[in-house]
Amino acid sequence: MQIQETGFEGLIVLQPKLYKDERGTFLESWNQDAFKRLNLDISFVQDNQSVSHENVLRGLHFQRDPHGQGKLVRVTRGSALDVVVDLRSQSKTFGKHFKLKLSSEQGNMLWIPAGFAHGFLSLENQTVFQYKCDALYHPKSEECLLWNDPKLKIDWGVKNPMVSSKDLQGKLFQHLSI
């Protein structure tokens, strides 16, 4: 497992070793001992999966403290543009975003610690997106940051993505009480 720093404290890209042969590919996406060796001593309590059509945008979601969730995210079919926004007011990257293309072909993953809003844009039909979470879903703590907030200047690469009515009601960054 290789890790790549992102410039955001705690946010890292993980690249498992891919084994390919005439049968296909194999990768180890989670190994508690390997993650501990990378100083990622994480206990996961919930797995989530979504399947999305091309140009579906989900997010930018987060849970307020004390119910913040860290997420290990990856795509197991297709590809997605993954985007996070740092909501940690004491962070030097507060209010900035990071984006990365995740794909089943590449097998790459992103560890997103608590304190980030998270969303993604499905780049292919039937894209399967999986999350391993270190805290349970807590509906009363859930919030949504508006995906196209002009202050954030996120280039999603599409003009009219398919967005849920709930996500269209997301808050502007300037109106979050963090």
Which residues are designated catalytic? Answer: 61, 131
CB-CB contact of 147 with 120 (8 Å): no
CB-CB contact of 154 with 100 (8 Å): no
Which residue from 111, 114, 108, 82 is spatially nearest to 97, judged by alpha carbons?
82
Grouping H, G, I as helix, E, B as strand and the rest as coil, residue 169 is coil
Q: Which spans in the chain are helix H?
A: 32-37, 165-168
Q: Does the N-terminal peptide bond of residue 161 adopt cis geometry, omega within 30 degrees of 0? A: no
C-alpha to C-alpha distance for 109 and 13, rounded to whole angstroms:
6
CB-CB contact of 104 with 78 (8 Å): yes
C-alpha to C-alpha distance for 29 and 26, rounded to whole angstroms:
9
